[in-house]
Amino acid sequence: MPVPALSLKFKRFRRRFGVTAPRVVIREHVSWYRWALLVVLSFLTGWTGAVILRGDAELKGVRESLAAQREELLVLRSAVGTERNEASLERASQRQLVDRMARLEMDNSLLKEDLLAYEKLLSAGFDGTLIKVEVFRLLPEAAGRVRFRFLLVSQKMGGEQQFRYQVYFKAKGGEVVRRYPVQPELIKVGRVLRIEESVDAPEGEALQAAELRVWLGERLLVKRETLI
């Protein structure tokens, strides 16, 4: 019977090419290097987030130290102002309070400097420099001592890296009169490392400057000089 056969063929044609026909999904082939690029971008995004969180924690610690020193400074200022009006105040105690207050004011200023450096680090990007010296100061102290402090910033992606440092103390004319430590000291730097030391000043020599040197292995990376 030709009519039913023709009808059956027509129904099959409608099923294949009509509204109810199965839909074909065309997917673009993604090459392997695109997948690799996506993996690298995901890793960099996660690593950047971790660095920012760590920087925020360090910045919070500096701010808390700054707030605590401000409170202590206010207490000492009040004590000095009150005790100056007391006839029974001993001059030695008064001098100790004044010296302590001056030291706290200096530390307060240095912490503000560190705070600015941390904020700068959080907003700055990577410029390819392996390590930087953001802050380097040389400060005179009582009883023939000096204090140096510096802030190192590593731009190595992830983990810690080992460096060596040494400070050269110089008299007038640039003559090196002392090195500290005697041999370059090994240090581990993650993202940021702050080092502060108080050492004896060379006897009979008027210090004028200090020079910080940082090595990676035997290669000298950084030379930074500051005046006292």
Domain 127-228 - what CATH class?
Answer: mainly beta
DSSP 149: E
Which residue, 188, 189, 110, is CA-closest to 155? 189
Spell out the residues 6+ positions from residue 21 whose beta carbon is closer than 8 angstroms to its own.
Answer: 15
Q: Where are the domains of the chain?
A: 32-125, 127-228
Bridge partners of 166, per DSSP, are 213
| Residues 97/76, Cβ–Cβ less than 8 Å | yes
Cα(228)–Cα(222) distance, integer angstroms: 19
Residue with tokens 């701010």: 63
First-to-last alpha carbon distance for the chain, in angstroms, is 113
Tell me if residue 22 falls in helix, strand or coil.
coil
For 46-93, write each residue's pLDDT tens digit: 666 655 666 666 667 777 777 787 788 777 777 666 655 555 556 667
* pLDDT at res. 191: 80
pTM of the model: 0.56
Q: Please determine, for residue 37, whether its predicted confidence score (pLDDT) is greater than 90.
A: no
